[in-house]
Amino acid sequence: MSTALQWFKSSYSGSEGGECVEVAKSPQAIHVRDSKTAPHHAPTLHITPATWTHFLAHAVK
């Protein structure tokens, strides 16, 4: 079984190369990174799924 994360670009990210966010999920954490940085060099923010859910409840209003 592969342990590689599957990254998804924000639907708000355009194809012009502007501000882009990518997200990947695992059972223990949600991983967030800047898609403009080469993936193997990009710093990644790791947050709990509960924190992510709380964030989305306020960000999507």
Residues 55, 5: Cα–Cα separation, whole Å: 21
Please check the confidence at residue 1 and state whether its pLDDT lies above 90.
no
pTM of the model: 0.73
What are the pLDDT digits (tens) for 5-42? 898 887 766 666 666 888 999 999 999 988 777 766 77
Residues 25, 61: Cα–Cα separation, whole Å: 22
Question: How far is residue 20 from each of residues 10, 11, 44, measured CA to CA in Å?
Answer: 7, 9, 13
